[in-house]
Amino acid sequence: MSVPAPNLYPDFNIIRLSHVCLNVKDLVASRKFYSEILGLQITDESDSHIYLRAMEERGHHCVILQKSDQPGTVEVMGFKTFDEADLDRAEAYFKLKGRPVSWANRPYQGRTLLTSDNIGIPLEFYHKMERLAPIHQKYELYRGVKPLRIDHFNCFSHDVDASVQFYSDFGFRVTEYTEDEESNKLWAAWMHRKGGVHDMAFTSGMGPRMHHVAFWVPTPLNIIDLLDLMATTGYVENIERGPGRHGISNAFFLYILDPDGHRIEIYCSDYQTVDPDLEPIKWDLKDPQRQTLWGAAAPESWFKHGTTFMGVDTQNSKIKSSPIIAP
């Protein structure tokens, strides 16, 4: 399948990804990991939930940790719309696509549209989240890896072509992609709204599952600092892959696992993609530098491990080719 042409005038306007709700077993353990090791700031907490934001963010939260009897699953992925009317337009759009829709009044983000994409990933859209005072110059608060903002989601899809077409229809634009030459199907694609390489990416595999959620940090040295911190505070086994640099996105990266197995990418150094006529970059599936421009090769777990979405069944990928055996 060729990459869909961008829809520059979608039915409703998404600004960017916003937040994710992760189901966890032990809020105390998760609180320590996300606030003391990663360095996210706690904005509210209760016996059942912890809300956190990164240092540049003015919105109330980018991560919600939810105590659950099904830990290691993802509750929902959230996106912000341009205005309130876009929520109503989004409702009409997803109804037309045959997707379930409902409304909720979420804490700190008010009127929220709940739906799911074509493969079942639970999504929510809101316009107005409670705004907090800026903290990006409160340097006494910086700790851990000094996360500045949530950057993107990456999800396993059993049909990347269908996922890319679905998100293209409502305005996501492909920046880079990998195609399986034997089947002419997409192996993976990176899609954006906010003008970076991606807000959402899809990778071929058993899906739908979340591959990772990523956070932007100031410099690669912050990643080295995090490695030192994790190695000396009991988290060395949570380091999965990196540091290194991706060919796709050009990002400097590190992948780690939280106490419940949710994968987190620490990320910096991608590039601007705001031009509407920007041509997507194609990569050969058998080019090892697409996933690792330099650095150690990705472990097998990086291609196979993911966290499921609550109540959503998975399917095996339709593509048989595997990059694990790429030369």
**Of 96, 131, 166, which residue sits at a domain end?**
131
In a domain, 3, yes or no: no
In a domain, 316, yes or no: yes
Give the integer Cα–Cα distance in Å for 77 and 60. 15
Specify whether 152 is located in the same domain as 79.
Answer: no
Domain that holds residue 181: 146-320
Integer angstrom CA distances of residue 202 from 25, 176, 190, 212, 229: 27, 11, 7, 11, 31
In a domain, 4, yes or no: no
Specify whether 284 is located in the same domain as 309.
Answer: yes
CATH number of the domain enclosing 278: 3.10.180.10
The two structure tokens encoding residue 219? 């410099």
Contact 17, 153 (CB under 8 A): yes
Handedness of CA 192, 268, 23, 140 (dihedral sign): negative
Specify whether 270 is located in the same domain as 310.
Answer: yes
Task: Specify the pTM.
Answer: 0.96
Structural domain count, the chain: 2
Specify whether 196 is located in the same domain as 284.
Answer: yes
Nearest to residue 200, comparing CAs of 216, 185, 211, 184?
Answer: 211
Specify whether 38 is located in the same domain as 107.
Answer: yes
Specify whether 53 is located in the same domain as 193.
Answer: no
Longest dimension (CA), the chain: 54
In a domain, 8, yes or no: no
Each residue's pLDDT, cut to its tens digit, for the chain (327 residues) gives 679 999 999 999 999 999 999 999 999 999 999 999 999 999 999 999 999 999 999 999 999 999 999 999 999 999 999 999 999 999 999 999 999 999 999 999 999 999 999 999 999 999 999 999 999 999 999 999 999 999 999 999 999 999 999 999 999 999 999 998 888 899 999 999 999 999 999 999 999 999 999 999 999 999 999 999 999 999 999 999 999 999 999 999 999 999 999 999 999 999 999 999 999 999 988 888 998 999 999 999 999 999 999 999 999 998 877 776 544
Strands 73-81 and 122-126: parallel
Specify whether 169 is located in the same domain as 263.
Answer: yes
**Of 82, 105, 131, which residue sits at a domain end?**
131
Specify whether 228 is located in the same domain as 292.
Answer: yes
In a domain, 2, yes or no: no
**Of 75, 108, 131, which residue sits at a domain end?**
131
